[in-house]
Structure 1
Amino acid sequence: MTVPGEQPAARFDSAVRASGLQKTYGRGETAVHALAGVDVTFARGAFTAIMGPSGSGKSTLMHCLAGLDSASAGQVWLGETELTALRDEQLTTLRRDRIGFVFQSFNLLPVLDARENMVLPMQLAGRRPDPAWLDSVVGRLGLRDRLRHRPHELSGGQQQRVAVARALLPRPDVVFADEPTGNLDSRSGAEVLGLLRSSVRETGQTVVMVTHDPVAAAYADRVVLLADGLLAGELEDPTADSVIDALRGLGA
């Protein structure tokens, strides 16, 4: 027996998927169709990058998949749960408990140290991180000697590692990363991407990342390409060169 907003588990071997997803901003002649009917599936335990020309709908797609924006039509499923059937308060709970976020801006509170920033979302939800898991995440991210440092005492790369730790601690179904290396130099960016990559390989985490950078996309298992609000192709085992060639084909 299923409850509203859910379907049998046997039908779901994906972490998140969209069916007929549409998003329109405005009305009439000024309407902008950011997503025009997207069907896409993101596998569990995989690292997927979303790419496309400016205005292709890639950020809108991620925001709809993550429950940060509502769809105009179509459905989004997180595992067995249909996000597009949930009320606002249900979406808030789902995002808190089952989704992790890493943004271009690190979104750390300046008055809190690194450890306090990591655990804050769980504390606000009335939960405590598992000590062994916290120690494992901190160790893998190389932050053991930075836990008592406040954001202004950390480099950009270290701040983003704190943000990655914050996203991983609740053991979410999916981590959504929106241009996570956009404010980092190439070395720090490579470190953060490598950490996201290792979280997929070593712990089975699912990561979905929006990026404009072909080098960043090459860390992923798969690249999903968008153009004009529609799925325009996919690349398996991408390289920076294969991503560049694919983007050229889209006119990017």
Structure 2
Amino acid sequence: MTVLDPPTTIPAIAARAAGLTKTYGSGEAQVHALAGVDLTIETARFTAIMGPSGSGKSTLMHCLAGLDQATSGEVQVGNLTLSSLSDNELTRFRRRHVGFVFQAFNLLPMLTAKQNILLPLDLAGLDPDWTWFDELIEVLGLGERLGHRPSQLSGGQQQRVAIARALMSRPTIVFADEPTGNLDSRSSAEVLGFLRRSVRELGQTTVMVTHEPSAAAYADRVVLIADGRVATQIDNPTQDSILDALRRIGG
């Protein structure tokens, strides 16, 4: 199997970190961003990663997504061990197996919503699955916005376009980095609802990094990171249970 091929069967575990460490600098300036993380991300579940500033949550996401290389330990996504891949293979891995949703949307201003959604497939030289495209557009409510450029869309609509772009290639896993950070409360709730629907109705595995307990409460599970380690995990979280756990770890 190559990194461009989808797995022949969907694993129960979409991603796994084992003994993950990440160290920056050396000597007295050395910083241990990750200090031995063991974590599994289940297929077709919505996982939120939270923690105090500097806890290592963003570093963990970058290592799981193949954007950063761990100092030690292993990351497995689907059937692939990332440390075994060359730089070119990592690029192909991310293009085929990983979707990204960013706080700043990262849409190209000169392209329409439809063109932005299809851009990763165009870059990869892959033909769109138009049935899947139509399903995404219906779920995300973008049917009347496909011909609009980003400047003609609200923040919530732009983020929905970004979600459709992330889902279009049917990735093994989608990583959302503070996806509601630039949105008002109404648009935030809308976008989080769509992310949750993508998990429950479309079977998409999603990992979201957030500092907002109200956002994390949309997830199936919350993983709290402190001092570069997994401090605790909360299944079926509520905003109150998240706040209680954050207080216990000093978040």
Q: What band does the TM-score fall into relative to the shorter chain?
A: over 0.9
CA distance in 2, matches of 1:13, 1:219: 21
For 1:73-222, list aligned pairs within 5 A: 73-222=72-221
Q: Distance in 1 between matches of 2:226 and 2:60?
A: 12
Name the CA distance, whole Å, in 1 between partners of 2:131 and 2:235. 34
Question: Residue in 2 aligned with 1:6?
Answer: none
Aligned partner of 1:45 in structure 2 is 44
Amino acid corresponding to residue 25 of structure 1 in structure 2: Y
SS of corresponding position for 1:95: helix
Alignment-mate amino acid for residue 179 of structure 2: P
Shift in Å, 1:70 = 0.7
Paired with 1:164 and 1:43, the residues of 2 have a C-alpha distance of 20
* Runs of 4+ displaced beyond 6 Å: none
1:13 CA drift (Å): 2.6
Report the TM-score when normalising by structure 2: 0.95
Separation of aligned partners in 2, 1:27 and 1:48 = 33
Partner amino acid, structure 1, of 2:154:
S
Q: Secondary structure at the match of 1:171?
A: coil
What is the CA distance between 1:85 and its match in structure 2?
1.6
Match of residue 16 from structure 1:
15
Aligned to 2:5: none
What is the SS of the residue equivalent to 1:144?
Answer: coil
Offset of 1:126 from its aligned partner?
0.2
Aligned-partner residue type, residue 47 of structure 1: F
Residues of 1 paired with 2:247 and 2:232: CA distance? Answer: 13
What is the distance in 1 between the residues matched to 2:22 and 2:45? 26
Shift in Å, 1:203: 1.4
For this pair of structures, how many residues does the alignment match? Answer: 245
Deviation at 1:229, TM superposition (A): 0.1
Structure 1 residue runs of 5 or longer lacking an equivalent are 4-8
| SS class of match (1:197) | helix
Over aligned residue pairs, what C-alpha RMSD do you find?
A: 1.4
**TM-score for the superposition, normalised by structure 1:** 0.95
Give the distance between the partners of 2:68 and 2:238, measured in 1 at CA. 31
- SS of equivalent residue, structure 2 residue 170: coil
- In the other structure, the counterpart of 1:233 is 232
Identity percentage of aligned residues: 64
Stretches of structure 2 that go unaligned for 5 or more consecutive residues are 3-7
- Alpha-carbon distance in 2 for matches of 1:45, 1:13: 9
